[in-house]
Chain A
Amino acid sequence: MTAGAETRSARKRPGPLPSRPYQFPRFERRRLSNGLQLVVAPVRKLPIATVIALIEAGSVCGFRGQEGIARLTAELLLEGTESCEGAELVERFERLGTSVEASADWDGTIVTLTALRENIGPAIKLLGEVLRAPAFPEREVERLKAERLAELLKLRAEPRGLADEMFTRVLYEPTSRFATPEGGTEESVTAITREDVRRFYDWRYQPAGTTLVIAGDITADEAERIAEDTFADWTGGDDLDLCKSSDAPARTTRALHVVSKPDAKQSEVRLGNVGLPRRHPDYYAAVVMNAVLGGLFTSRINLNLREKHGYTYGAFSHFDWRRQAGPFMVSTAVQSESTVAAIEEVLVEIDRIRAKEVRSEELSLATSYLDGVFPIRYETTDAIAGALATLVQYELADDFYDTYRTHIRAVTTADVLRIAREHIHPPAMQMLVLGDPETVLGPLEALRFGPLTMYDIEGRVV
Chain B
Amino acid sequence: MRIPIDTFRLPNGLFVTLSEDHTAPIVAVNLWYHVGSANERRGRTGFAHLFEHMLFQGSADVGSNEHFELIQRAGGTLNGSTWLERTNYFETVPSNQLELVLWLEANRMGKLLPAMTQQKLDTQRDVVKNERRWSMDNQPYGTWWEKLPALCFPPEHPFHHSLIGSMEDLDAASLEDVRSFFEMYYTPENAVLTITGDFEPAQTRKWVERYFATIKNGKGRPPLPNTMMPTVFGDWKREVVRDNVMLPRLFLAFLSPVFGSPAFYAASVCAAILGLKKGSRLYKTLVRDRQIAAQAQAFTYDLTKGSDLLVVDVTGRPGVTGDHLEHEVAREIDFMHANGVTKGEVDRAVTLLETEYTAALQSAGERADRLSMFATYFADPSLINTQVDRYRAVTADDVNAFVRERLSENNRASLLYVPKTGTMTMKRTGEFAGVKA
What is the interface of chain A, defined by CB distance below 8 A to chain B? 1-2, 5-6, 8-9, 12-22, 45-48, 78, 86-87, 90-91, 93-99, 114-116, 119, 143, 146-147, 149-151, 153-154, 156-160, 186-187, 189-190, 263-266, 296-298, 303, 306-314, 333-335, 364-365, 368-369, 371-376, 378-382, 458
On whether the beta carbons of B355 and A116 are closer than 8 Å, the reply is yes
Question: Would you give 26 A-B contacts (Cβ < 8 Å), ordered by A?
Answer: A1-B65, A6-B66, A15-B100, A22-B25, A45-B23, A47-B1, A94-B351, A95-B348, A97-B355, A151-B294, A154-B246, A159-B138, A189-B430, A263-B244, A266-B133, A297-B72, A307-B127, A309-B126, A313-B130, A313-B134, A364-B73, A372-B97, A376-B92, A376-B93, A378-B24, A379-B24
Distance in Å: Cβ of A183 to nearest Cβ of chain B: 14
On whether the beta carbons of B76 and A373 are closer than 8 Å, the reply is yes
Rounded to whole angstroms, the CA-CA distance of A186 and B428 in the bound complex is 11
Interfacial chain A residues near B122, Cβ < 8 Å: 310
Interfacial chain B residues near A382, Cβ < 8 Å: 359
In the complex, identify which listed stretch (B222-230, B277-285, B397-405) lies at the interface while the others stay far away. Answer: B277-285
Distance in Å: Cβ of B343 to nearest Cβ of chain A: 12
On whether the beta carbons of A307 and B430 are closer than 8 Å, the reply is no
On whether the beta carbons of A20 and B96 are closer than 8 Å, the reply is yes
Known: A6-B66, A379-B363. 7 other contacts (CB 8 A): A5-B63, A90-B277, A94-B279, A298-B72, A368-B74, A372-B97, A376-B92
Q: Which of B234-252 contact A (CB under 8 A)?
A: 244-247
On whether the beta carbons of B291 and A99 are closer than 8 Å, the reply is no
Interfacial chain A residues near B135, Cβ < 8 Å: 313
Answer yes or no: B64 CB below 8 A from chain A CBs. yes
Instruction: With A1-B65, A380-B363 as known contacts, state yes or no: A373 contacts B138, CB within 8 Å.
Output: no
Answer yes or no: B387 CB below 8 A from chain A CBs. no
Rounded to whole angstroms, the CA-CA distance of A115 and B198 in the bound complex is 26
Distance in Å: Cβ of B34 to nearest Cβ of chain A: 26
On whether the beta carbons of B103 and A333 are closer than 8 Å, the reply is no
Distance in Å: Cβ of A9 to nearest Cβ of chain B: 4
Rounded to whole angstroms, the CA-CA distance of A90 and B354 in the bound complex is 17
Size of the B side of the interface (Cβ < 8 Å), in residues, is 84
Closest residue on chain A to residue B294 by CB atoms = A150
Distance in Å: Cβ of B337 to nearest Cβ of chain A: 23
Distance in Å: Cβ of B190 to nearest Cβ of chain A: 25
Closest residue on chain A to residue B244 by CB atoms = A157
On whether the beta carbons of B69 and A365 are closer than 8 Å, the reply is yes
Closest 5 CB pairs of A and B: A372-B75, A310-B126, A5-B63, A20-B25, A97-B351
Answer yes or no: B6 CB below 8 A from chain A CBs. no
Contacts between the two chains (Cβ within 8 Å), count: 243
Closest residue on chain B to residue A20 by CB atoms = B25
On whether the beta carbons of B25 and A310 are closer than 8 Å, the reply is no
On whether the beta carbons of A17 and B100 are closer than 8 Å, the reply is no
Rounded to whole angstroms, the CA-CA distance of A82 and B103 in the bound complex is 61
By CB atoms of chain A within 10 A, which of B244, B364, B429 has the most? B244
Answer yes or no: B432 CB below 8 A from chain A CBs. yes
| Residue from A5, A8, A94, A146 within 8 A of B348 (CB atoms) | A94
Closest residue on chain B to residue A3 by CB atoms = B63
| Residue from A15, A97, A154, A157 within 8 A of B352 (CB atoms) | A97
| Residue from B93, B198, B351, B426 within 8 A of A96 (CB atoms) | B351
Interfacial chain A residues near B347, Cβ < 8 Å: 95
On whether the beta carbons of B93 and A310 are closer than 8 Å, the reply is no
| Residue from A12, A99, A151, A264 within 8 A of B278 (CB atoms) | A99
Q: Which of B124-182 contact A (CB under 8 A)?
A: 124-131, 133-135, 137-140
On whether the beta carbons of A307 and B65 are closer than 8 Å, the reply is yes
On whether the beta carbons of B279 and A16 are closer than 8 Å, the reply is no
Closest residue on chain B to residue A368 by CB atoms = B73
Answer yes or no: B336 CB below 8 A from chain A CBs. no
On whether the beta carbons of A335 and B318 are closer than 8 Å, the reply is no
Interfacial chain B residues near A376, Cβ < 8 Å: 26, 75-77, 92-94
| Residue from B94, B102, B138 within 8 A of A372 (CB atoms) | B94
On whether the beta carbons of A372 and B93 are closer than 8 Å, the reply is yes
On whether the beta carbons of B65 and A298 are closer than 8 Å, the reply is yes
Distance in Å: Cβ of B315 to nearest Cβ of chain A: 8
On whether the beta carbons of B358 and A187 are closer than 8 Å, the reply is no
Interfacial chain B residues near A9, Cβ < 8 Å: 61-63
Rounded to whole angstroms, the CA-CA distance of A368 and B363 in the bound complex is 21
Closest residue on chain B to residue A371 by CB atoms = B75
On whether the beta carbons of B355 and A143 are closer than 8 Å, the reply is no
Rounded to whole angstroms, the CA-CA distance of A382 and B360 in the bound complex is 11
Rounded to whole angstroms, the CA-CA distance of A6 and B70 in the bound complex is 11
Distance in Å: Cβ of A13 to nearest Cβ of chain B: 7
Instruction: With A16-B74, A146-B317, A158-B140 as known contacts, state yes or no: A91 contacts B133, CB within 8 Å.
Output: no
Distance in Å: Cβ of B92 to nearest Cβ of chain A: 5
Closest residue on chain B to residue A458 by CB atoms = B432
Rounded to whole angstroms, the CA-CA distance of A85 and B207 in the bound complex is 59
Rounded to whole angstroms, the CA-CA distance of A2 and B57 in the bound complex is 12
On whether the beta carbons of A99 and B277 are closer than 8 Å, the reply is yes
Distance in Å: Cβ of B354 to nearest Cβ of chain A: 6
On whether the beta carbons of B247 and A154 are closer than 8 Å, the reply is yes
Interfacial chain A residues near B46, Cβ < 8 Å: none
Distance in Å: Cβ of A229 to nearest Cβ of chain B: 23
On whether the beta carbons of B358 and A157 are closer than 8 Å, the reply is no
Q: Mark each residue of chain B from 281 to 305: 1 if its CB lies under 8 Å from any CB of chain A, else 0.
A: 0001000110100100000000000
Interfacial chain A residues near B99, Cβ < 8 Å: 14, 16-17
Answer yes or no: B68 CB below 8 A from chain A CBs. yes
| Residue from A90, A115, A335, A375 within 8 A of B279 (CB atoms) | A90
On whether the beta carbons of B123 and A333 are closer than 8 Å, the reply is no
Instruction: With A13-B103, A151-B294, A312-B127 as known contacts, state yes or no: A48 contacts B25, CB within 8 Å.
Output: no
Rounded to whole angstroms, the CA-CA distance of A13 and B102 in the bound complex is 10
On whether the beta carbons of A379 and B364 are closer than 8 Å, the reply is yes
Interfacial chain A residues near B102, Cβ < 8 Å: 14
Interfacial chain B residues near A149, Cβ < 8 Å: 318, 426, 430
By CB atoms of chain B within 10 A, which of A9, A12, A87 has the most? A9
Answer yes or no: B362 CB below 8 A from chain A CBs. yes
Distance in Å: Cβ of A134 to nearest Cβ of chain B: 16
| Residue from A14, A46, A78, A158 within 8 A of B358 (CB atoms) | A46
Distance in Å: Cβ of A11 to nearest Cβ of chain B: 9
